[in-house]
Amino acid sequence: MNISDMILLAIANLFRTKLRTTLTLLGVVIGIGALSSMVSLGTGMQKNLTDAFLENDLFTSYRVTTKNIDLEQISGGNFENMEGFLDKPQTPLTDSIIKIISNIEGVQYAFADIQFPVQLSLEGYDIKLNAQGLPATSGQYKPYTNLLAGTFFQTDNEKSVVVKWETFRKMGLVPLDKDNLVVFSREDSLKGFKVVDPDSLLGKELVIKSKTLNPLSLAISTMGGKVPDEKTAFREVETRLHICGILKKSGSFAGQQFRGGIYIPMETADDIPKLGFSSIWDLFDEEEVDSYGSVYVRAKDIQDMEIIRKDIEALGLHTFSIADQLEEIKKTFLIIDSLFGAIGSVALIIAALGIINTMLMSILERTREIGIMKAIGGSEREIKFIFFVEAGFIGFIGAIFGLGLGWLVTRLANIILNARFPEEGIPVDLFYFPWWLLAGATAFSIFISLAAGLYPAIRAARIDPVKALRHD
Amino acid sequence: MILRVHNLCKSYYRGKLEIPALKNVSLDISEGEFVSIIGKSGSGKSTLLNLIGGLDTASSGNIFFRDQDISAMSRKELARHRRFSVGMIFQSFNLIPSRTALENISLALTFGGVPRRQRKARAEDVIRSVGLGHRIDHKPTELSGGEAQRIAIARALANNPAMVLADEPTGNLDSVTSSEIIDLLQELNQKKGISILMITHDQETASRISNKVIRLVDGSIANEQGKTSMP
Ligand SMILES: Nc1ncnc2c1ncn2[C@@H]1O[C@H](COP(=O)(O)OP(=O)(O)OP(=O)(O)O)[C@@H](O)[C@H]1O
Ligand SMILES: [Mg+2]
């Protein structure tokens, strides 16, 4: 008897007891359904996060600061090292340092992180947000390549601006994106959202109002012992820029908020009077060289990250990259995935007990048949294999339907969760079914089922034909 | 010599209590012989047949089937012996109830390693050879006792064994059907030269058709009667 014969025989046996097979199968289906949807949730969370990192180019970029941002040390209340550290002369982040960093091997480009609060108005719509200065070169890289309409600015000193989709949305304008259709909630419609053709926004004039300190009035009022009042202490400046490009809606987990809602060419941004940290220092110490709070460095390749970091640190500066955090994040997700997997596995183990029970019952019922098979020449190996295949087949079919169930459940859960917690109206895929989950769950299901079938199969093979065939 | 049994002993144990079922049984069967075993209930007839058929293992002694010692065989070798060397027939037919006549025989052919596409034709042939060509797709419950036993005989013959072992094949049949089955076995013995070892309660028939009748009494052979010694 060859293997295909034994497999066919096993399947025929399962078909003979349809109801029982179906019920046993159902246990496995539910087990695999639970397991796969759980792991799919964990994987989905991880994927959403890493995708967001990738989309925002976080794996190939560093934020360079003068001080070490060591959250662990600060939260641990350990200031001993901090004091010594504060005594050390710090390298200021000046234009010349940025030039040095730019020339480090492997660095694509480096630019000062200029970010400042502004008030925008566009045809009567007003909104407050942060503006970010960017070099024109960054237009070649993610996430700035992902334009819905128009182009990124071409030079560092032109009077144009790139606006994020989300910024328009905050103003109540929804640029139409065919790849990313927005579902309006009822509140949205009540607020009076207006869908617009993104191309129609290009070229329009955006008025940027920024505030800056009025050094003269500040000095006067301070000398007079008076608290400077807002009207006189601050000066409001208007800058007019033309919209040259609109960035697409970014991923849901994207940490884009800290990078502002509009992007202005570097030099143009430099020229806008503003109330940034660096400008305050400028104000009180005119002699101090022009230095920035932090510098953004982009590597050509993820491989260069380590060398660049060493070179930057050799300058007496500090680097921060989400990539450094990646191992920790991965570890955390591994724990989450294992936990979810373990919960799902419990269901599968219960299903395995069901398989054992069903098979032992079936052996009891088929004792005579097994005796007959032995009498006409069936070997122990063959009988064992037939029962083994029966168990494995339940595992295999159970995995297929179980994955189908898991997929359905996650689709349904996704719809419900998205309806409950709409994230700016864009549906988020909370679950992820990668190929390894499909293959792994199938293999695991077959493995568990075979393990469950092992003992019944051995028992079937050991049946004494003389006893089995004794007259009824 | 197709079969040589030498000093065969078989005991069963109930706890520490030894129940001897066969005591120093020795017998010879030549190629093509028809041998009957008679004896009271519990005398060890089935035990002897099961040992020869490789369904059970002896406590001591030897069974030589064409000079191969069955008593020294591994379980795997015993399966081969059951598959190719002998065919067994039982009082209660022992057909698989969920399978048709054809499928019951196909199963034996499957164990015998017959390729899938040849099985159907071969099963039909062997069913026709026992005269049941019109019952091929019947399940055992849809067959009369005599028909069921014919199918069982067909199954025993499926892998062309040299010897058929029959444990009271007519025990569940009326006298007319019984003699038909006996006739069939006799035909196989005479036309195909298959050696037959049959257990029966019918001493008269045994004497009439057998070359040799072996009487078992309490697990021992009482006397061996050759056909020639019969009046
Ligand atoms: N598994 C067993 N455990 C204990 N004793 C057994 C077992 N099988 C058979 N025996 C005993 O062995 C003896 C021989 O049994 P066996 O079945 O060979 O008798 P038999 O001659 O075939 O009888 P029958 O004509 O009723 O079929 C009997 O006394 C029986 O009780
Ligand atoms: Mg008996």
**Distance, CA of A423 to CA of A165 (rounded, Å):** 14
**Distance, CA of A91 to CA of A353 (rounded, Å):** 67
**Distance, CA of B93 to CA of B98 (rounded, Å):** 14
Would the CB atoms of B110 and A5 count as touching at under 8 Å? Answer: yes
Q: Does A9 touch chain B (CB under 8 A)?
A: yes
pLDDT of residue A87: 47
In a domain, B6, yes or no: no
Closest CA to A406 of A24, A44, A142, A81: A44
Give the residue, out of B43, B49, B52, with the most ligand 1 atoms within 8 A of its beta carbon, to mutate for a pocket test: B43
Neighbour tally for B129: CB within 10 Å: 17
Cβ-based contacts of A366 with chain B (< 8 Å): none
Rounded to the nearest angstrom, the gap between the alpha carbon of residue A36 and the centroid of all alpha carbons in its chain is 19
Domain ranges for chain A:
3-53+329-470, 60-108+298-320, 115-277
DSSP secondary structure string, A284-338? H-TTS--B-SEEEEEESSGGGHHHHHHHHHHTT-EEE-HHHHHHHHHHHHHHHHH
pLDDT of residue A311: 87
Phi, psi of A213 (to 5 degrees): -75, 145
pLDDT of residue B173: 93
B42 alpha carbon, closest ligand: 1
Q: By the 8 A CB rule, do A41 and A299 touch?
A: no
To the nearest whole angstrom, how far is the Cα of B200 from the nearest Cα of chain A?
15
The DSSP bridge partners found for residue A112 are A295
**Amino acid in the structure at residue A164:** K
Cβ-based contacts of A465 with chain B (< 8 Å): 55
Which two three-digit tokens encode residue A141? 């890289």
Question: How many domains, in total, are found in chain B?
Answer: 1
Q: Does A466 touch chain B (CB under 8 A)?
A: yes
Residue in A1, A367, A372, A373 to test binding to B, most B beta-carbons within 10 Å: A372
Q: What are the pLDDT digits (tens) for B171-186?
A: 999 999 999 999 999 9
Task: Please identify among residues 108-147 of chain B the ones whose CB lies closer than 8 Å to any CB of chain A.
Answer: 108, 110-113, 116
Q: Distance from the CA of B18 to the center of ligand 2, in angstroms?
A: 19
Average pLDDT, consecutive stretches of 10 residues, N- to C-terminus, chain A (472 residues): 89 90 94 92 83 73 71 50 50 80 85 81 82 83 80 88 85 78 62 79 85 66 58 74 85 53 85 60 46 80 82 82 75 87 88 92 93 95 94 95 94 84 64 90 94 95 93 64
Q: Which helix (H) or strand (E) holds A264?
A: strand A262-265
Tokens 């991880």 sit on residue: A46
Which two three-digit tokens encode residue A79? 């200031």
CATH classification of the domain holding B114: 3.40.50.300
In a domain, B153, yes or no: yes
- Check pocket membership of B74 for ligand 1, CB cut-off 6 A: no
Would the CB atoms of A466 and B50 count as touching at under 8 Å? Answer: yes
Predicted complex ipTM = 0.94
Residue ranges of chain B whose pLDDT lies below 70: 223-231
Q: Which domain holds residue B210?
A: 33-41+75-226
